[in-house]
Amino acid sequence: MKTILLTGGTGFIGANLCRRLLHEGCRVICVDNNYTGSMENIREILQNPFFSFVEHNICFPLDTLFGGEKIDQIYNLACPASPRFYQGAHAVETTKTCVLGALNILELAKRHNAVVLQASTSEVYGEPLEHPQKESYRGNVNPVGVRACYDEGKRCAESLFFDYRRLYGTRIKVVRIFNTYGPFMDPDDGRVISNFICQALTGREITVYGDGSQTRSFCYIDDLIEIMLRVMNSSDDFTGPLNIGNDDEYTIKALAECITAKLGGRIVYKALPADDPVKRCPDISLAKTMFDWEPKVSLDEGLCRTAAYFKNCIGQYKK
């Protein structure tokens, strides 16, 4: 049985990944400080004998947390992923989580000779001048903008991962995650799909920023988890970076109209936030070629599943 450490495990992606790993027969150690995650997301698996939760901030070393237990694999998902949480008062903490957190995780991986997967982001491409974005594209990031704590933090983390590979032979994987959605999203995290669905379900106006012509691609969580597992369990020769996401592209306006058609609501338009990319869509040719993978869940089906999840927990968040 593999023992797998997962940081950020009470967050959206982490909570889904914990369940999949348990289903695969793994021993799972979930580490989180619950800044943006929630214990509600893992409540039903807390009693699983192969699952344990450790409350910890990865800005601080993890050496003494596991009582000598051997770690086989590490998924580093810990970091706020929504501008609502990483901008402003929490900007410095976000950079520290990206950089100091990566260092602590890499040191742990080196000591255990564990394979470690870094959940990087499409934000490393910034406001892309290449479309769709290939892994070879070096990006167009504003290093002093309001989003830089996250964008540059993740870029620095990638650099550390590859330096550890070059200097110490650390067994690394780096994936760049594009927009993802599904159950266990925080309804108040400010991401576009959770925003739109929760606004519609609670009778509020559907808020589109800008004129809605900006584009995104949306990957359902089950598809994302599948490719993450394939990457983690691939040969040590494959390090990435690898784009993972859905290459179907939609305007934000089209997304809003799709959700209002399903759930009702009225669309309103507000000013576009600073440094918000106009286009964002992955080139996933490498994932298709290397891992025989491509998304299977359509946007229509994924939105229905996600709306059903939010309907079930409608009383648990602020309207």
Q: Tell me how far apart the terminal alpha carbons of the chain are, to the nearest angstrom.
A: 43
Instruction: Round the CA-based radius of gyration of the chain to a whole number and report it.
Output: 19
For the record, the structure tokens of 313 come out as 């927990």
- Give the whole-angstrom CA distance, residue 58 versus residue 269: 38
SS3 for 17? helix
**Of the residues 150, 164, 220, 250, which is catalytic?**
150
Q: Are 207 and 214 contacting, i.e. CB atoms less than 8 angstroms apart?
A: no
- H/E segment holding residue 1: none
* Residue 166, SS3 per DSSP: helix
**Residue 150 falls in the annotated catalytic set:** yes
- CA-CA distance, 71 to 65, in Å (whole number)? 12
Whose structure tokens read 């344990």? 52
148-168 and 91-112 helices, crossing angle to 10°: 20
Structure-token pair, residue 32: 């989180």
Question: Phi first, then psi: what are they for 144, rounded to 5°?
Answer: -120, 10
For residue 18, give the amino acid letter: C
User: What is d(CA 27, CA 78) in angstroms, rounded to the nearest whole number?
Assistant: 19
The residues annotated as belonging to the active site are 150
